[in-house]
Structure 1
Amino acid sequence: MNNILVAYLLLACAIITEVIGSTFLVKSEGFTKLVPSLAMIICLSAAFFFLSLVIKTIPLGIAYAIWAGVGIVLTACIGYFVFKQSLDMPALIGIGFIVMGVVIINLFSKSAGH
């Protein structure tokens, strides 16, 4: 399998585990609940493990920008749909800019490793 494809699959794993970990962070209620706290620690540890594998192929700045950008969008969606947290127009515009940044990196950056 192509190294860059594997790197992007690992990046997807890093993003998913980071978003799940962030969700458990809310459920831990300030680390007062043991099981969600442990789940958060495990998920975020896995996220950084996957990210550490990704940066062997994709430059750190590019990998981290994609990881953080997509993670922010997915976490905001979970906050909205699962936790019923509101997103006002400036928040939606900012999230839109983040999405545009990730798209620009992936379509046009020669640093992204395509």
Structure 2
Amino acid sequence: MQWIYLSLAILFEVAGTISMKLSAGFTKWQPSVLLVIFYICSLVFLTLTLKSIQVSVAYAIWSGMGIVMITLIGFFFFSEKVNISKALSIILIIIGVITLNLTSEQAHQAPTVSRSNK
């Protein structure tokens, strides 16, 4: 269930960012209201995610996938330019998210050592 929550958090964050673009600096009230609603929903689902996924992993996936999705939406729907540097950076983000996800699953399965206070 935590991955569904994280996916919803990402989708709402992306919707909020699109609304931010469409609000034209809060000059259009409909996208401005949607922006607030979408970001609240995103943070609610991200908070629910953090009940069972480490904050470092959840936040990295949330922000990384949001960046990738917004970049693609900017390119396809807002006619933004993509150069080699931007494309390479997005590929590195995707590799980082995948690696983080794989290593966090391995760490979750391995026994943990707790630190004691002296």
- TM-score, with length taken from structure 2: 0.88
Matching of residue 11 in structure 1 with residue 6 in structure 2: yes
Q: Are residues 112 and 51 of structure 1, via their aligned partners in 2, closer, same or farther at CA, if it must alter by over 3 Å?
A: farther
User: Where do 4+ consecutive residues of structure 1 move more than 3 Å?
Assistant: 110-114
Q: Are residues 111 and 64 of structure 1, via their aligned partners in 2, closer, same or farther at CA, if it must alter by over 3 Å?
A: farther
What does 1:46-61 align with in structure 2 at a 5 Å threshold? 46-61=41-56
Q: Cα distance, 1:106 vs. partner?
A: 1.5
Over aligned residues, Cα RMSD in angstroms?
Answer: 1.4
Structure 1: any 5+ residue segments left out of the alignment?
1-5
2:31 is paired with a residue of what secondary structure?
helix
Contact kept in structure 2, 1:17 and 1:47, CA below 8 Å:
yes
Matched residue, 1:3: none
What does 1:1-114 align with in structure 2 at a 5 Å threshold? 6-110=1-105, 113=108
Distance in 1, matches of 2:97 and 2:107, equals 11
TM-superposition CA deviations, 1:60-109 (whole Å, max 9, x none): 11000000011100000110001010111101101110000001011222
Q: Are residues 112 and 27 of structure 1, via their aligned partners in 2, closer, same or farther at CA, if it must alter by over 3 Å?
A: farther
- TM-score, with length taken from structure 1: 0.91
Distance in 2, matches of 1:113 and 1:68, equals 21
Question: What amino acid does structure 1 have at the position aligned with 2:14?
Answer: V
Distance in 2, matches of 1:63 and 1:108, equals 13
Name the % identity.
Answer: 37
Question: What amino acid does structure 2 have at the position aligned with 1:71?
Answer: G
Structure 2: any 5+ residue segments left out of the alignment?
110-118
Q: Cα distance, 1:32 vs. partner?
A: 0.4
Q: Which of 1 and 2 has higher RCO (CA within 8 Å, sep 6+)?
A: 1
Q: Are residues 47 and 111 of structure 1, via their aligned partners in 2, closer, same or farther at CA, if it must alter by over 3 Å?
A: farther
Contact kept in structure 2, 1:66 and 1:102, CA below 8 Å:
yes
